[in-house]
Structure 1
């Protein structure tokens, strides 16, 4: 049941991304082009997402635990540190340059377009590289 629920949630998310046009890099880049061919429609998509997410989080986090887990997996800190800032900057720059965010690129994989495959390949490479560097730094701290 847990796997089916995750699949259905992912399917709904992917369909929403596709319908909203967030898998189209031209639409995303036009959203960022305020001085040129600005397309404000993604602001409405984000606003609609907030209208659903905010009450949804309130409702879900008001429960003692999730339906299919023993507890919620939430961050245990509110600290703003270098990895958070660097990751946010990298995410924003990648989105602004390529026109894809991971949420929009994964459903677009089904198109088989070269630029989508290259973006997802770079995304996976970046994730693995970041994990390697983090583990390397943690090992250096432990041996010091």
Structure 2
């Protein structure tokens, strides 16, 4: 990687992490309060996600049209298919259950690692265990 790519990746990561901290998405209790629509629902994270979409939806197509490649890579990696299949639905449900139970998902967990949150370390150990179990299940299934 050249210096430009490293600086771009650093800036993007720092901006993302700063945004997660400012919005308090690194605090599992805030995330769980957002996801708990039957109790004391806290809608603030809806504005975080909505704000991100308001920026990304018009800007992303412009970037794809005007740039030959991303700053941090050789080519844009976009999904080839758009099918909503059984593995996608099951994976989404499992992700949602895990997110709802723990209030943590990968992006905020990486950010929380930077300030030593023990929950983030536990999360990544469990994430790795889940990935290993999935690979073993895939082998057993085939």
SS of residue in 2 equivalent to 1:62: helix
Aligned-residue RMSD, C-alpha: 2.0
Structure-2 change in CA distance of 1:43 and 1:67 (3 Å): closer
**Which 4+ stretches in 1 moved above 6 angstroms?**
none
- The equivalent residue for 2:32 is 29
Alpha-carbon distance between aligned partners in 2 of 1:73 and 1:23, rounded to the nearest angstrom: 27
Q: Aligned match of 1:71 in 70, 75, 88?
A: 75
**Which has the higher mean CA deviation after the structures are superposed, 111-120 or 48-57?**
111-120
- How much has 1:101 moved relative to structure 2? 1.3
The residue that corresponds to 2:124 in the other structure is 120
Structure 1 segments unaligned to the other structure (5+ residues): none
- SS of 1:35's partner is coil
Q: Which of 14, 27, 41 is the equivalent residue of 1:11?
A: 14
1:99 aligns with 2:103: yes
TM-score by length of 1: 0.84
Q: CA deviation at 1:137?
A: 6.9
Aligned residues: 138
- 1:133 is displaced (CA, Å) by 4.1
- Alpha-carbon displacement from aligned partner over 1:105-137 (angstroms, at most 9, x marks no partner): 110112323222111211122234334544x27
Following the alignment from structure 1 to structure 2, what is the Cα–Cα distance between the partners of residues 107 and 120?
12
Residues 11-32 of structure 1 show CA distances to partners (whole Å, capped at 9, x for unaligned) of 1111101111100001011112
Q: Normalising to structure 2: TM-score of the pair?
A: 0.85
Does the 8 Å contact 1:25/1:100 carry over to 2?
yes
Checking the alignment, whether the CA contact within 8 Å between 1:60 and 1:66 is kept in structure 2 is no
Alignment gaps of 5+ in structure 2: none
Counterpart for residue 60 of structure 2: 57
Distance (whole Å) between structure 2 residues aligned to residue 133 and residue 36 of structure 1 = 36
